[in-house]
Amino acid sequence: GCTSGHGISGMAQLAVGSTIAVAAMFAGGIVVASLFRRA
């Protein structure tokens, strides 16, 4: 959805802000997933 589309279109345009946003979304997802695994 929004996350993957943001990454694909942003990376295609070499947009720095989009790259940072996608990296932050992935990092947030990894943190949340690791917290849920421990619980």
pLDDT tens readout for residues 1-39: 676 777 777 777 788 888 888 888 889 999 999 999 987
Give the number of other CB atoms < 10 A from CB of residue 35: 9
The confidence score (pLDDT) of residue 6 equals 72
| Tokens describing residue 23 | 């990296």
Domain segments of the chain: what residues? 2-38
The confidence score (pLDDT) of residue 18 equals 80
pTM of structure: 0.62
